[in-house]
Structure 1
Amino acid sequence: MVSTFSNNRLVKNVLSLGIVQVANYVLPLLAIPIVSRIIGPEKFGIINFVSAFVAYFTLIIGYGFNLTATRKLAQNPTDSQMRNRVFSEVFYAQIILLVFSSIIFLICLFFVPALRNEWEVSIFTFIVCISTLLTQDWLFQAMQDLPKVAILNFVSKFIFIILIILIINHQSDYIWYAFSLSISQILVSIISFIWSINRYKLKLYKINISSSIALLLEERTYFFSLVVINLYTSTNIVLLGFLTSSAQVGFYTAAQKITIIIQAILILPLRQALFPFMANKIKENVDNGIETAQKLLPIIFWPALCICIGTLFLSKYIIQILYGSAFEPAIIILQILSFIPMIIALSNIWGLTVMMNLKLDKIYFRITSISAFNSIILNLILIHYFDVIGSAIAWLLTELITLSSIFFYLNKIKIQLVGLKYFNPRYLKGLLLTYYNK
């Protein structure tokens, strides 16, 4: 039983990330009751609309290297020359992307009224892109040194919460919310960059522009899959901002933030730890890798189901405690979104962890592209008839379509990822006891 899993490193990575991820998101949760009651739904909506817009640029700069560079280096992480080469290629490519993104952002700042009218928030939010360049999470993932990622994220959130408590005192202070978030992340990313260079003895090789562009072209498939995923996770906020009011955006993002926090605590530790782990497993033996995915499924499914059910029934109290009575319309939105973390958790196991490691990148991109197109159509139709409720329904339907498409494709090519025997409580108990005793 245990032989089908990796050594203690996987368990250590998952547990350490899980524990610190809880801390990462408990701290911001402490700030939400303060901030939301001071700035109100409208200003809260403005902040999150701009954040969703800037998310396109952080996505461009990140370019999916957290998975593609991780996959490349995880196959031989002890090779120092390869490590330096990948580090240099990624860094120079991201510099090009940062320059490109800055130019496009400035153009948007002048010509998009929603950004121009809130130019301070827009600029303060955009500078977070610097941290995307300097953060080396992909390197820590490939080296399976994930506790470092979690600790650095914790420090970032701690600095952010201190700044928020000190700075946000009046509704007009909402512009400093974005500034505090960006500065805290930039400071920690600088520390991360310097630390990773010293820790892994990294050397920056000279990479010409043509090589950087070649790398971007090589990894474009997964990047475009991230773009289309973003179309149905962030674009709904942008569409709400253009088609409804800032207050409606505030209600939606209030509920969405809770959903994302649950996702981060539930999914991120597993995804970051499992991707390099599964890359090695599938490289060694595809059948054993698939069996490992089958065994992991119930371990993720049951906790996710319980958390989602709890969110559904406790939505009213969660919104009232965190945001106050002014955000009451967010309750039904949170109820609609309550099962999304579980759906995304399954999509991550089958899509990112399995399909990407089986080099089914193009198929995965095709699935997510269709889902993104469906998301835009659903949002345009449902927002027109149901406003913010329609956008929540559109996101839920889109995630269900994505999960179903991944499941049916893998079954079509004879990859069975659901092993019913592994859902047996006795098996799960034995597995957990084995890890605990080990």
Structure 2
Amino acid sequence: MFRRIISHRVFKNSFALFIMQLFSYVSPLLVLPYLARIMSVENFGMLMMLYSLLAICLVVTDFGFNLSGTYYISRNYKNKKKINEFLTSVFCIKIILSTASVIFFLVFFRGEFQRLDKYSVLLIAITMFVQSFQPIWFFQGIEKMRHITIYTALSKLIYLLLVFLFVTSDSIVTVLLCYCISQMVGTFFSICFILKMKYSFSRTTYKNIISVFRQSIPFFVSRVAVVVYTSANTLFLGKYGGMAQAASYSSCEKIYFAGQSLLNPLSQAFFPYLSKNRDAKFYIKFVILSVCILSVICAVASFFVYDFLNIFYGQKYNDSIGILNTFLITTVIAYTSVSFGYPMYTLIDKIGYVNHTVIIGAVIHIIGLFILAKENIFTAQNIAYLVLIVETSVLITRVFLYTYLKIKRV
């Protein structure tokens, strides 16, 4: 079975996505210890809040195309005309959403970041716009993941080098400039790859743009719901718990996200494959095997959390041990939940129900945030506990709902 897995096309695509995510999150993880040491806790917390804001903006401008776009292109991969029209429609929508996001930030969020100078604000606005046009969903749909790996690796390596070469003081604006340049490079090369593969931005219609927009709304709603209990937490902590709490939480959250990013390609690569081939037995065996391996890894890692934090971030962040241990448990739960999401539900043609489970998770998280605020216990550790509760709730809901729908279908 092992030989069959590693020789499978899905494994090759998963491996390419794995390498992409490795660069996406390992490069920042190499940078963060350096920044945590040369920056004050307050400025480091502020920087983490800004990165969270950019992550939220990316979800808005992506508008669920990482799922709906992948699904559409994988179903029409032989029809280049349809793909070109879809590609153009998506980019038109992204231009509108990116512009709206920048305006919204300049008008409404400027007051939340009064300590930022005008250059930092400008760099955030430019990054918001530029990062929106990296079409990972396109390459996933045509199952050419190595192209994603190449431009992502290049982008992240540039970010890594720029930070180590030019960030030598407690300066937020210099870090933002490095990040902005790296995003520009990634976007430029991703579009070059599209054109090199003989795809193009063809003429589309207003009707087609509206149709593409409407088809992606359910996926967008689910992604926004996920943001409520992921990227938005650092913003909430910074506002209501202080920059120190935001720094402690985000330092562990980045490690958690890195773990997720290395694991999620496994299910992402299966999504277009299972849309065309209904090989449920192979997928279930793969998930069981990977969950078992992950559980062992996280259990062993829990014994080295103190040493890891001390080496990685320094003694200033030793009080984050409980937070990181909580995230290790959440990693196993979240991976199982993602694996039981779109790939499994596409087998019964009910992928829309996955969005409902995420919304349930968002509602639980919002209720939890209100309780924490009311009881005046809005701390990084309690937010980590809340994320664990939410991810567990989503997993349980998905398993029971899938079982119910499958029985009902029979």
Q: What's 1:102 paired with?
A: 102
The residue matched to 2:39 in structure 1 has which SS?
Answer: helix
- Indicate the residue corresponding to 1:144 in structure 2: 143
Code of the aligned partner of 1:265 = L
Choose which of 183, 186, 189 in structure 1 pairs with 2:187.
Answer: 189
> Which is worse superposed, 245-254 or 87-96?
87-96
* Distance of 1:330 and 1:29 partners within structure 2: 16
Show the counterpart of 2:88: 88
1:372 is the counterpart of 2:367:
no
Please tell me whether the aligned partners of residues 5 and 11 of structure 2 are also in contact (alpha carbons under 8 angstroms). Answer: no
The answer on whether the counterparts of 1:130 and 1:186 sit within 8 Å (CA) in structure 2 is no
Alignment of 1:282-361 (within 5 A): 282=278, 289-356=279-346, 358-361=348-351
Deviations 1:129-187 (Å, cap 9, x if unpaired)? 3333321211111111111111211111100011101121111x122212211220121
- Kindly report which structure 2 residues correspond to 1:202-241, keeping only aligned pairs within 5 A, or say none: 202-241=199-238
**Residues 3 and 247 of structure 1: CA distance in aligned 2, closer, same or farther (over 3 Å):** closer
Query: Counterpart in 1 of 2:129?
Result: 130
Q: Distance in 2 between matches of 1:138 and 1:164?
A: 28
| 392-401 or 14-23, larger mean C-alpha shift | 14-23
| 8 A Cα contact 2:159 2:178, kept in partner | yes
In 1, Cα distance between equivalents of 2:109 and 2:23:
35
Q: 1:281 aligns with which of 277, 282, 291?
A: 277
Cα deviation digits, residues 295-331 of structure 1 (max 9, x gap): 2212321222122213322111111111000111222
Contact persistence 1:61–1:97 (CA under 8 A) = yes
Q: Cα–Cα, structure 1 residues 276 and 229, in superposed 2: closer, same or farther, change >3 Å?
A: same
Provide the C-alpha distance between the structure 2 equivalents of 1:388 and 1:3, rounded to a whole number of angstroms. 43
- 1:386 Cα deviation after fit: 5.3
CA contact (8 A) 1:240 1:249 kept: yes
Q: Describe the superposition over 1:176-225 as per-residue Cα deviations: whole angstroms up to 9, x where unpaired.
A: 212211220121211110221122x1222222444323321222111101
- Alignment TM-score, normalising by the size of structure 2: 0.92
Is the 1:60–1:97 contact (alpha carbons within 8 Å) kept by the matching residues of 2? yes
| Contact 2:29–2:254 (CA under 8 A) maintained in structure 1 | no
Q: Which runs of 5+ in 1 are unaligned?
A: 283-288, 417-438
Report if the CA contact (8 A) 2:41-2:247 is conserved: yes
**Deviation sequence 1:73-116 (CA, Å, 0-9, x none):** 11231221122122112111211211222222221144xx2223
- Give the counterpart letter for 2:396 in structure 1: S
Tell me the residue number matched to 1:70.
70
Preserved contact between residue 382 and residue 394 of structure 1 (Cα < 8 Å): no
The letter of the residue matching 1:275 is F
Question: Which residue identity is paired with 2:330?
Answer: I
Residues 5 and 15 (structure 1), Cα distance of their counterparts in 2 relative to 1, 3 Å cut: closer
| Equivalent residue, structure 1, for 2:15 | 15
The answer for the alignment partner of 1:425 in structure 2 is: none
Contact 2:52 2:231 in 1 (8 A): yes
Residue 29 of structure 1 aligns with which residue?
A: 29
Does structure 1 retain, via aligned residues, the 8 Å contact 2:147–2:193?
no
Matching of residue 164 in structure 1 with residue 154 in structure 2: no
Deviations 1:382-430 (A, max 9, x none): 35225221111111111111111101111222369xxxxxxxxxxxxxx
5+ unaligned residues in a row in structure 2: which ranges? Answer: none
Match of 1:248 in 2: 245
Aligned pair in 2 of structure 1 residues 278, 3: CA closer, same or farther (>3 Å)? farther
How many residue pairs end up in the alignment? Answer: 405
**Alignment CA distance shift 1:220-1:16 (3 Å):** closer
Where 1:339 maps in the other structure, the secondary structure is: helix
What TM-score do the two structures reach when normalised by structure 1?
A: 0.86
CA contact (8 A) 1:41 1:247 kept: yes
Mapped to 2, the partners of 1:226 and 1:104 lie a distance apart of: 19
Aligned twin of 2:153? 154
Q: Which amino acid is the alignment partner of residue 406 of structure 2?
A: K
Does the aligned pair in 2 maintain the 1:38–1:170 contact within 8 Å?
A: yes
| Displacement after TM superposition at 1:258 (Å) | 0.7
Return the letter of the residue paired with 1:256: E
- Give the % identical residues: 25
Q: CA deviation at 1:356?
A: 4.7
Comparing 224-233 and 51-60, the one that deviates more: 51-60
